[in-house]
Amino acid sequence: MAFGKGCHLHLIDGSAFIFRAYHALPPLTRKSDGLPIGAVSGFCNMLWKYIEDAKGSDAPTHAAVIFDKGSHTFRNDLYDLYKANREEMPEELRPQIPLTREATKAFNIACEELAGYEADDIIATLARQGREAGGRVTIISSDKDLMQLVGGGVEMFDAMKNRAIGVEEVEAKFGVPPEKVIDVQALAGDSVDNIPGAPGIGVKTAALLINEFGDLETLLARAGEIKQPKRRETLIEKAEQIRLSKQLVTLDDQTPIEFTLDDLEIREPNPEELMEFLNRMEFRTLTRRVAEKFGAEPPPAPEVSDVPASHDAQAQDIEQPPFNPDSYTCIRDAGELAKWLDEARAKGWVAVDTETTSLDEMQAELVGVSLCIEAGKAAYIPLGHTSGGDDLFGGSERVAGQMDLDEALKLLKPVLEDPAILKIGQNMKYDFKIFARHGIRVAPIDDTMLMSYAMFSGLHGHGMDALSDRYLNHQPIPIKELIGSGKNQITFDKVEVEKATRYAAEDADITLRLWQMFKPRLHREQVTTVYETLERPLVPVLADMEMAGVKVETAVLSRMSNAFAQKMAQLEDEIGQIAGQPFNVGSPKQLGEILFDTMGVEGGKKGKTGAYGTGADVLEDVTTMEDTNPQAAKLAARVLDWRQISKLKSTYTDALQTHVNPETGRVHTSYVISGANTGRLASTDPNLQNIPVRSEEGRRIREAFVAREGCKIVSLDYSQIELRILAHVADLPEMREAFKEGLDIHAATASEMFDVPLEQMTPEIRRQAKAINFGVIYGISGFGLARNLRIPRAEAQGFIDRYFERFPGIRRYMDATVEFAKEHKYVETLFGRRIHTPEITAKGPAAGFAKRAAINAPIQGAAADVIRRAMIRMPGEIMHLPAAMLLQVHDELIFEVADHAVDELIAVARRVMESAAEPAVKLSVPLIVDAGQGASWAEAH
DNA sequence: AACTTCACG
DNA sequence: GACGTACGTGAAGTTC
């Protein structure tokens, strides 16, 4: 039938259907192979319901489901930031997209998409054609971007709310008739699609203006007449941006399509084809319903005996084979390896683990690789086992019966890089780096350590032994049994292949079993998004940073070390003389005895071990006793000096040099993703997150961190990110405004608290306000603040009371957070990260700790989430620049950049960092990033 | 291995 | 009414 008068065309927005199905449904997986299938299931059910509902007097005569194709459209050519805020498609959803196309075809509904155009443009084109042909058109969608099409026989239908959207509804939403919707959208912009619009003008104002002036061009031409100065200026200054926005929101109803409306005529589905598809997807209920409807016999359900427990909701109830080290295979030739890799291909996943000669990934030599396909079925590939002493004479020999390393890697590479095969590991960053050094970029990955971290942070550690014990009730073979411990420890290449097989294959076996258990549980714990957007994508990013390393000038450190040694010797001498006897200045015990027993300083406090406390705060108090005990005061002052230098020397100038990699001449730290409960990273071997900066002498250590020839070190750091997040989550209007105005936040707080005008602010008042601001982040207490500010406790309490009075949101936030923690036993960041607080119900001092930790975690955690998001986006954004991201220090990112690209790097990285919360969270406070550059970290900071 | 101290955000 | 306390880390050195 030719489309024309009396015909009714339904246009279904396929992408909206898919996303709704994905988010509305629990994460189903196909039983036979674990393929995520929830969105396809929901999509099919919606199509089926749609078909059933659409049979009536108002039935469509023609219908099509319209999809988006690819992500690059002509709009990206107009404006490169178009939809730049969009989150990546969830990993679980990606493989389901082609299946929804198949589903549409199986239902025998026309299925259309066009590269370079969004679904909305195709819908616009078809709607226009339908209207022009004199028929009726209904767009099944509630997307506001489609509302411009309404009118003249075209209407929309919100399938979710079961509600028609006609001219009236559009007017209610936009304040203008449909044909002027694009003018309003051009002004108002859209943060979701990153349409800039006119800053400061929302839908309400836009509608007002359009109604007053008639249309956008008239408005822009006569903008000078507008009374409000700010509005007038925006419209004049941003006219081009507004016109661009209009282009972006205007749907193209002239897309070149290769079919006609007549091709979209409704067709009955072919029962066999439809049932074949539904059955293949293993949708039992829907298959049965379709069979009933057509009076056909449902096809036999597919064989699901080989159920991977992982994907079953009752995973724990399914009997797993016991651990049996004798059952593991040792792969010694290419034929056997190929067989295992084929199994991995067939399954679509494989657990992988590497054995090496060192925990330092930059120096470790690959000794073997283990694989596991399913619980109990694991293998080890020995590749670099040696025998004999490798000591004085270097007489180590390669053990027989091993595959050649390169031959094995050649076979492994296509599997490890195959986008259709998931590589599962425990702490994958380690293995990722090992393989990367052999030219293999492992992807895609899952990491059981990070799954555990996302689900259980605050409850327990995430190491494999702990997880195996807790979740599999199995104690793995301790590594000590193979390599020993202490000074007799051997490297893994010296371990017998048979023993190594039992140990290494077991690790892969454990990892796979943990994965099977954790995968479905991620959804139940509601941390899938956290895992997929904040944990897992960090693995390759951090691996690259760590492998890049940072150049450290050992000569600079050596020089400083020598100077420190001299100064220390001098101080030790002096200290011995004051004390009347030489003693180990580095021994807090000896120092305490001399100070408090021999020299008679009053008020020494013993800790739980019976030793006097001699921390810096105690010694500082002693230095003030010039009148009562001048000798002790002098001694304490010298010890404080000695301690500072001793620390700098041992931890920084000396230890740091030992971490310079002989091959690269650079220092390669290792970040622990699951190191801190709050979501912060931890840096180890060496820790590059605590390089001195607060003291003048210490800061000079940073002069040794330099850029390579022709490059600069660039540092970008978030300004006051935790306070900004606090202002947002605790809803503190005064603080929010202060940030919006770009004020000195501590001065502004002081002004608010002590009624001192900003112009009359003194450093002392500001310092106190600063201490309180930080105190609030830490879960303030009168005692803690008093100690920090060295003021009487009552006075500190007075400050806090006043702070609560002036910023009532703070108390509300603190109370609400503690209440939440008590009820749920966890707290949550803005981005959904959960930090468990099991101690919150404890009695005694532990309760106080838990309370403060609960108050702090969402703030520290959200800040950590923000910088993680920035780091994850960064590589893609700076790809085109001669620059590398090297280090992260909680609120700071450090880059090494070619001289000529410094300015551009700063611009790009700043943009990424300042917008990192979006689009997941729209903060009510701007994020601001400060930048510095120079030849060294000292100059850049 | 536990404890103390101190470097950072 | 007393308890004890700022939040989150890692490393080095001493002591047991």
The reply to whether A230 and A126 lie within a common domain is: yes
Model-wide pTM > 0.75:
no
Q: What is the mean pLDDT of residues A678-701?
A: 95
Kindly indicate the confidence band of residue A743, based on its pLDDT and cuts at 50, 70 and 90: very high
pLDDT of residue A303: 59
The separation, in Å, between residue A803 CA and nucleotide B4 C1' comes to 35
The SS3 of residue A329 is strand
A140-149, A325-334, A899-908: least confident range? A140-149
Q: Tell me if A424 is assigned to some domain.
A: yes
The reply to whether A709 and A731 lie within a common domain is: no
pLDDT in tens, A877-900: 999 999 999 999 999 999 999 999
Kindly indicate the confidence band of residue A34, based on its pLDDT and cuts at 50, 70 and 90: confident
Number of CB atoms found within 10 A of residue A324's CB:
11
The separation, in Å, between residue A353 CA and nucleotide C8 C1' comes to 31
* 3-state secondary structure labels for all residues of A192-216: CCCECCCCCCCHHHHHHHHHHHCCH
The reply to whether A717 and A729 lie within a common domain is: no
> At residue A551, does pLDDT exceed 60?
yes
Domain that holds residue A280: 271-300
pLDDT in tens, A486-545: 778 899 999 999 999 999 999 999 999 999 999 989 988 999 999 999 999 999 999 999
Q: Which residues touch strand B (CB under 7 A)?
A: A 588, 592, 607-609, 611, 613-616, 618-619, 640, 643-644, 647-648, 651, 689-695, 698-699, 860, 889-892
The reply to whether A256 and A374 lie within a common domain is: no
Q: Tell me if A695 is assigned to some domain.
A: no
The separation, in Å, between residue A653 CA and nucleotide C11 C1' comes to 13
Kindly indicate the confidence band of residue A390, based on its pLDDT and cuts at 50, 70 and 90: low
> At residue A315, does pLDDT exceed 50?
no
Nucleotides of C under 7 A from a protein CB: 3-16
Question: What does the alpha-carbon distance between residue A856 and residue A560 come to, in Å, rounded to a whole number?
Answer: 38
Q: Tell me if A449 is assigned to some domain.
A: yes
The reply to whether A88 and A225 lie within a common domain is: yes
The reply to whether A481 and A449 lie within a common domain is: yes
Question: Could you say which of A841, A861, A881 is where a domain stops?
Answer: A861
Question: Which tokens sit at A65?
Answer: 């489901």
Overall number of domains in chain A: 6
The separation, in Å, between residue A647 CA and nucleotide C13 C1' comes to 10
Query: Nearest residue to C6 (CA, C1')?
Result: A784
The reply to whether A757 and A827 lie within a common domain is: yes
pLDDT in tens, A224-278: 888 888 888 889 988 999 999 999 999 999 998 888 899 899 888 888 889 999 9
Q: For residue A611, what is the DSSP state?
A: P
The separation, in Å, between residue A811 CA and nucleotide C11 C1' comes to 37
pLDDT of residue A487: 76
Q: Tell me if A309 is assigned to some domain.
A: no
- Region of A28 (left: φ > 0; alpha: ψ -120 to 50; beta: rest) is beta
pLDDT in tens, A790-825: 999 999 999 999 999 999 999 999 999 999 999 999
Q: Tell me if A561 is assigned to some domain.
A: yes
Question: Could you say which of A213, A245, A264 is where a domain stops?
Answer: A264
> At residue A50, does pLDDT exceed 90?
no
Query: Nearest residue to B9 (CA, C1')?
Result: A890
pLDDT of residue A845: 83
Q: Tell me if A698 is assigned to some domain.
A: no
> At residue A314, does pLDDT exceed 80?
no
pLDDT in tens, A54-107: 777 678 899 999 988 766 788 888 887 787 767 677 778 888 888 899 899 999
The reply to whether A256 and A278 lie within a common domain is: no
Kindly indicate the confidence band of residue A399, based on its pLDDT and cuts at 50, 70 and 90: very high
The reply to whether A248 and A277 lie within a common domain is: no
The reply to whether A119 and A35 lie within a common domain is: yes
Question: Which tokens sit at A536?
Answer: 């897992």
Angle at CA A763, nearest 5°, toward A761 and A764? Answer: 105
Q: What is the mean pLDDT of residues A382-402?
A: 82
pLDDT of residue A317: 47
Kindly indicate the confidence band of residue A392, based on its pLDDT and cuts at 50, 70 and 90: low
H-helix or E-strand containing A849? helix A845-878
A837: nearest nucleotide, CA–C1' criterion: C7
> Highest mean pLDDT range out of A138-152, A174-188, A582-596, A892-906?
A892-906
The separation, in Å, between residue A593 CA and nucleotide C15 C1' comes to 15
Instruction: Enumerate residues 6+ apart whose C-beta is below 8 A from A77.
Output: none
Question: What does the alpha-carbon distance between residue A678 and residue A853 come to, in Å, rounded to a whole number?
Answer: 9
pLDDT of residue A95: 81
pLDDT mean across residues, chain A: 91
The separation, in Å, between residue A813 CA and nucleotide C9 C1' comes to 25
CATH of the domain at A917: 3.30.70.370
Q: Dihedral sign, CA of A288, A290, A295, A298? A: negative
The separation, in Å, between residue A191 CA and nucleotide B4 C1' comes to 52
* % of chain A with per-residue pLDDT over 90: 72
The separation, in Å, between residue A640 CA and nucleotide C16 C1' comes to 26
A259-263, A472-476, A905-909: least confident range? A259-263
The reply to whether A363 and A461 lie within a common domain is: yes
Q: Tell me if A557 is assigned to some domain.
A: yes
A777: nearest nucleotide, CA–C1' criterion: C7
* % of chain A with per-residue pLDDT over 70: 97
Nucleotides of B under 7 A from a protein CB: 3-9
A721: nearest nucleotide, CA–C1' criterion: B9
A382 or A157: whose pLDDT is higher?
A382
The separation, in Å, between residue A853 CA and nucleotide C8 C1' comes to 9
A843: nearest nucleotide, CA–C1' criterion: C3
Number of CB atoms found within 10 A of residue A540's CB:
20
The reply to whether A136 and A226 lie within a common domain is: yes
pLDDT of residue A312: 39
pLDDT in tens, A606-660: 877 888 999 999 999 999 999 999 999 999 999 999 999 999 999 999 999 999 9
Q: Are strands A329-330 and A349-356 parallel, antiparallel or unpaired?
A: unpaired
Q: Tell me if A536 is assigned to some domain.
A: no
> At residue A310, does pLDDT exceed 70?
no
> At residue A424, does pLDDT exceed 50?
yes
A678: nearest nucleotide, CA–C1' criterion: C8
H-helix or E-strand containing A366? strand A366-374
CATH of the domain at A599: 1.20.1060.10
Question: Could you say which of A216, A247, A264 is where a domain stops?
Answer: A264
Burial group, residue A127, by CB count within 10 angstroms (0-12, 13-18, 19+): buried
